[in-house]
Amino acid sequence: MLPLNATIVRIIEESPSVRTFFFDLQFETMEPGQFVMAWVRGVDEVPMGLSKKNSITVQKVGEATAKIFEFKEGDSFGLRGPFGRGFSLPSKSEKILIVAGGVGAAPLAPYADAARNAGSKVHTVLGARSAGDLIFEDRFEEAGEVYVSTDDGSKGTKGFVTDVLSSLNLLVYDRIAVCGPEVMMASVFRLLEDRKVLEKAEFSLHRYFKCGIGVCGACCIDRSGLRVCKDGPVFSGVQLLDSELGKYARDASGRRVKI
């Protein structure tokens, strides 16, 4: 469980607040949706979703990610992983719906790649605040048809991913994979529940991690007690019934924080 040293070999600016960092390691056993613990020396260790076997996609939101944004090619940080349960892999005969919001597109892009390689039929609903905030649109387009929504209407449907989902026949899909801001995921959850297709869906949760391997219990979710780092971060929709999804999370001290 000691961190491996990862040297940055390439940096891509995906949007004003999101960058992808490629490193000189390859996590060959990675499952789409799994994460690594990124150790920013002298600052913190934080979970990051893998956007490829050799990259993490980072949104600048706190002290650790702000430090990562200062990195240049040739700089290094520590990585542990990959950890957790990823998305269930599709088969050739299945029709897949991906629902991605903001930086939540990062762990779903490898899932789209895997579905495309399996020969599945893939549709993606991709949402962001504006056209400039959309990430990995090209990767999703390579997998299949993409429906775009933006809060400001600068591209695609003006509104939220749920506005697009409301116009789709969700019964035709065999699997539905969801990741994004939790308020968005909670809205998608309610829509899928109302449409009687929740059992087809999987959601990737983000919680505060300390150990990342299921030992400390800091990321347990109410009411099930499931550990997001070990039993997730991907959970089935049925597992999240009557859970804290969309209501609250916890900070480093374990106190509830309203979402």
Query: For the segment 181-205, what is each residue's pLDDT rounded down to a tens digit?
Result: 999 999 999 999 999 999 999 999 9
The residue assigned the tokens 């900070």 is 251
Distance between CA atoms of residues 138 and 141, nearest Å = 5
Band of pLDDT at residue 92, cut at 50, 70 and 90: confident
| CATH code, domain with 52 | 2.40.30.10
Q: Are residues 186 and 213 in the same domain?
A: no
Span 149-181, pLDDT tens digits: 999 999 999 999 999 999 999 999 999 999 999
> Which residues span the domain enclosing 35?
4-83
Report the chain's mean pLDDT, rounded to a whole number: 96
Band of pLDDT at residue 93, cut at 50, 70 and 90: confident
Distance between CA atoms of residues 191 and 33, nearest Å = 22
Q: Are residues 146 and 196 in the same domain?
A: yes
pLDDT at 16 over 80: yes
Q: Are residues 91 and 195 in the same domain?
A: yes
Last residue of a domain, one of 157, 173, 200: 200
Q: Are residues 61 and 101 in the same domain?
A: no
229 is in an annotated binding site: yes
Q: Are residues 181 and 209 in the same domain?
A: no
Q: Are residues 148 and 231 in the same domain?
A: no
Model pLDDT, residue 29: 92
Band of pLDDT at residue 216, cut at 50, 70 and 90: very high
Distance between CA atoms of residues 74 and 52, nearest Å = 19
pLDDT at 1 over 80: no
Model pLDDT, residue 107: 96
Model pLDDT, residue 232: 96
Model pLDDT, residue 2: 84
Q: Which amino acid is at 65?
A: T
Last residue of a domain, one of 61, 83, 105: 83
Element (H, E) at 117: helix 105-118
Last residue of a domain, one of 68, 83, 98: 83
Contact 106, 140 (CB under 8 A): no
Q: Are residues 226 and 256 in the same domain?
A: yes
Q: Between 99 and 1, whose confidence is greater?
A: 99
Q: Are residues 105 and 190 in the same domain?
A: yes
Q: Are residues 67 and 53 in the same domain?
A: yes
Band of pLDDT at residue 91, cut at 50, 70 and 90: confident
Q: Are residues 153 and 76 in the same domain?
A: no
Instruction: Look at the chain and report how many structural domains it folds into.
Output: 3
Q: Are residues 123 and 183 in the same domain?
A: yes
| CATH code, domain with 137 | 3.40.50.80
Question: What's the average model confidence in pLDDT over 122-137?
Answer: 97
216 is in an annotated binding site: yes
Sign of CA dihedral 199, 204, 208, 211: positive
219 is in an annotated binding site: yes
In 3-state terms, the chain is what percent helix, strand and coil (to 5)? 25, 35, 40
Q: Are residues 93 and 189 in the same domain?
A: yes
Percent of the chain with pLDDT over 70: 100
220 is in an annotated binding site: no
